[in-house]
Copies of this chain bind each other. A is one copy, B any other.
């Protein structure tokens, strides 16, 4: 995982636009791009504060929306009432399965799916800019655990 180069890309992006490359932005971007998880703004804040106390919630939100607008990070709504973000720079597009039991998020990709979406859009004269596909249900683990619980009760 090549965070150093990625961080440099973010820095360059900001500087080119006349934005200041502050210690907070460096830290937030580093932690966000380092993470392989789907983190909430709050979790990102905690992760940053673990490394260095000098970050505020407001700055995390502000930096996060810049990173999102720039396309380095992507927000997704998992139905918990708050957004989660994922590292997107240098990763290819994928969709998500969200386990409604344990909250696990599984990434998957299916080109046929993407193509069908394009076809459906074309039929309506609609031009897709982005899309969001989430499958909600039970992950493999939770299904197995549920089954064994049922077994026990028999």
Residues of A with Cβ closer than 8 Å to B?
Answer: 77, 79, 95, 97, 99-100, 106, 108, 110, 112-113, 116-117, 119-121, 123-140, 143
Which B residues are in CB contact (< 8 Å) with A130? Answer: 136-137
Tell me, rounded to whole Å, the shortest Cβ–Cβ distance linking A26 to chain B.
29
Q: How many copies of this chain does one complex carry?
A: 2
Q: Which residues of B are found within 8 Å of A121, using beta-carbon distances? A: 97, 135, 137
A-B contact pairs, 11 of them (CB 8 A): A77-B79, A97-B126, A108-B123, A108-B124, A110-B116, A110-B119, A125-B143, A126-B138, A130-B136, A131-B134, A132-B136
* In the complex, residue of chain B having the shortest beta-carbon distance to the beta carbon of A131: B135
Tell me the complex Cα distance, A124–B130, Å. Answer: 24
Partner among B123, B128, B135 whose Cβ is within 8 Å of the Cβ of A126: B135
What residues of chain B lie closer than 8 Å to A77, measured between beta carbons?
A: 77, 79
A131 touches B136 (CB 8 A): yes
